[in-house]
């Protein structure tokens, strides 16, 4: 081995051999996250670059002074594991956690964010809601669990303690409007979605009872000469304060007796408007609502009378316009319903399931040979995926219903077929734990 001096130096020779052949220090684990629990912290990570070394164990430690001093929780976490729960901690005390691989020596520390464990809120319910907890998102090395209570029918939620001063959000979704009816050679407008209203319902150590009412979806127009029945509102009422949150009902689709999607009767407040019919007018927009949009325009070819209803407004965007093809095709396409919003809930295995709800119903349309179809339009984000069932059956000419507890609009009718029912509403409580 050459040396700059050109002379052999045994001590330097041995040092160079050591530097050349000894393995490097193992790099820190990546993606280290700490998840808060009651008197516990769950630490998760991804495997580090071991520089070709064998990882024997992982060491998980915690610090209460920002990393100046460490307490080892375990130095024998199996090398195939990627999580460890530290128990016996003190609620309210802030901890910084670390993970490092143990090879021929200790690897570099991978650090989590800092977090204080805390007791979860406690509550009781009536009315058989669906409840669950799931691992939600993480940011800055801190992960969050979310607790959800979903009411699909009337009931109550009573908070008995909130020791961590957790903020609770209630999302109230009104009943969706039914699709419109029609008698002539055209398709009618899709029903508007119920209002999607998220709001903070409580924070701090609140002890209160919240009464839930679920709005019904609008009723189908059974024939072309009838008008759909109104949907109804969903509400959450706080007993201590008297505060009421409303999820307003969706407007029904344009019918053979009117040019536009109609607002519910007897009220100035409603969610998204239904799609329009005949004269290319927009369906009504929602009023005094939070997340509600107007329905789309109808389309008509005056030379041969083909007409397509507009899609109902969704809780995210407006309904789409209907379109009309050439006379040679005698076809028209109902407008897609406006898209809905997303809610997350527990999948029963610690993870979450995302669903889209409160989308508008698709408008009715027509195909060649004068055969009417119950709308090639569909309700996006819920209708399109089949789960909220606002799409249309091309074989039976029956408009699809908004899904149960979706707040989705029903499908517009074609020819003299029934329109689709609106979907019933939903109330969704959630808080970080």
Number of neighbouring beta carbons within 10 Å of residue 277:
39
The position carrying tokens 């053979």 is 256
Check: CB of residue 228 under 8 Å from CB of residue 289: no
SS3 176: coil
* pLDDT of res. 126: 97
How far apart are the two ends of the chain, measured CA to CA in Å?
Answer: 62
Entry pTM: 0.82
Tokens of 316: 């995210």
Residue pLDDT, tens place only, 308-321: 788 888 888 888 88
pLDDT in tens, the chain (433 residues): 444 455 555 555 455 444 455 567 789 999 999 999 899 999 999 999 887 889 999 999 999 999 999 999 999 999 999 999 999 999 999 999 999 999 988 999 999 999 999 888 889 999 999 999 998 888 999 998 899 999 999 999 998 887 767 788 999 999 998 888 876 666 788 888 888 889 888 777 677 899 999 999 999 887 666 788 888 999 999 998 888 888 888 887 776 544 344 444 445 556 777 776 655 455 555 555 668 888 888 877 766 666 778 888 888 888 888 887 766 665 677 888 888 888 888 887 778 888 888 988 888 876 554 444 444 455 554 433 222 223 344 445 668 888 889 999 888 887 777 888 899 999 999 988 7
Running DSSP on this structure, what letter comes out for residue 388? S
Q: Which runs of E-coded beta strand occur in 292-351?
A: 299-301, 306-308, 323-324, 332-333, 341-346
Tokens of 224: 């072309």
Check: CB of residue 28 under 8 Å from CB of residue 49: no
Domains of the chain: residue spans and CATH: 30-115 (2.60.40.10), 119-433 (no CATH)
Burial class (CB within 10 angstroms; exposed 0-12, middle 13-18, buried 19+) of 263: buried
* pLDDT of res. 330: 59
* pLDDT of res. 84: 98
Number of neighbouring beta carbons within 10 Å of residue 55:
17
* pLDDT of res. 389: 29
> From CA 131, how far away is CA 115, in angstroms rounded?
25
* pLDDT of res. 428: 95
- Burial profile 157-173: b = 16 or more Cβ within 10 angstroms, e = fewer: bebeebebebebbbbbb
> From CA 302, how far away is CA 298, in angstroms rounded?
13
Whose CA is closest to 405, among 184, 268, 217, 181? 217
């Amino acid at each position: 081995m050459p040396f700059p001096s050109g002379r052999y130096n045994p001590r330097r020779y041995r040092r160079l051999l050591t530097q050349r052949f000894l393995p490097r220090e193992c790099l820190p684990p990546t993606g280290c996250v700490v998840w808060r629990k009651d008197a516990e912290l769950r630490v998760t990570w991804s495997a580090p670059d071991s520089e070709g070394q064998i990882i024997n164990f992982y060491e998980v430690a915690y610090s209460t002074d920002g990393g100046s001093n460490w307490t080892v929780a375990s130095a024998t976490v199996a090398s195939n594991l990627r999580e460890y729960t530290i128990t016996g901690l003190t609620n309210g005390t802030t901890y910084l956690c670390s993970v490092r691989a143990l090879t021929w020596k200790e690897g570099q520390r991978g650090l989590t964010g800092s977090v204080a464990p805390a007791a979860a809120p406690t509550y009781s319910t009536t009315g058989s809601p669906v409840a669950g907890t799931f691992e939600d998102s993480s940011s800055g090395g801190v992960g969050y669990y979310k607790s959800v209570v979903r009411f699909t029918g009337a009931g109550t939620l009573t908070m008995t303690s909130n020791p961590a001063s957790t903020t609770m959000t209630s999302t109230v979704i009104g009943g969706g409007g039914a699709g419109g009816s029609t008698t002539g050679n055209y398709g009618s407008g899709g029903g508007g979605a119920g209002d999607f209203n998220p709001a903070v319902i409580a924070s701090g150590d609140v002890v209160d009872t919240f009464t839930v009412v679920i709005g019904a979806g609008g009723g189908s127009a059974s024939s072309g000469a009838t008008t759909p029945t109104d949907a109804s509102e969903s509400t959450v009422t706080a007993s201590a304060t008297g505060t009421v949150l409303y999820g307003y009902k969706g407007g029904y689709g344009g019918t053979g007796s009117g040019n536009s999607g109609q607002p519910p009767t007897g009220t100035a407040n409603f969610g998204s408007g239904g799609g329009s019919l005949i004269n290319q007018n927009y369906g009504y927009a929602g009023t005094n609502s939070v997340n509600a949009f107007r329905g789309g325009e109808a389309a008509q070819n005056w030379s041969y009378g083909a007409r397509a209803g507009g899609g109902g407004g969704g809780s995210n965007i407006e309904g789409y316009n209907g379109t009309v093809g050439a006379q040679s095709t005698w076809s028209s396409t109902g407008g897609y319903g406006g898209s809905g919003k997303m809610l997350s809930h527990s999948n029963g295995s610690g993870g979450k399931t995302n669903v889209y709800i409160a989308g508008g119903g698709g408008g009715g349309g027509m195909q060649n040979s004068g055969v009417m179809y119950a709308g090639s339009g569909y309700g996006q984000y819920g209708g399109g995926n089949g789960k909220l069932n606002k799409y249309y059956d091309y074989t039976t000419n029956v408009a699809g219903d908004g899904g149960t507890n979706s707040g989705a609009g029903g499908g517009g009718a074609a020819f003299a077929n029934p329109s689709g029912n609106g979907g019933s509403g939903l109330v969704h409580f959630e808080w970080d734990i």
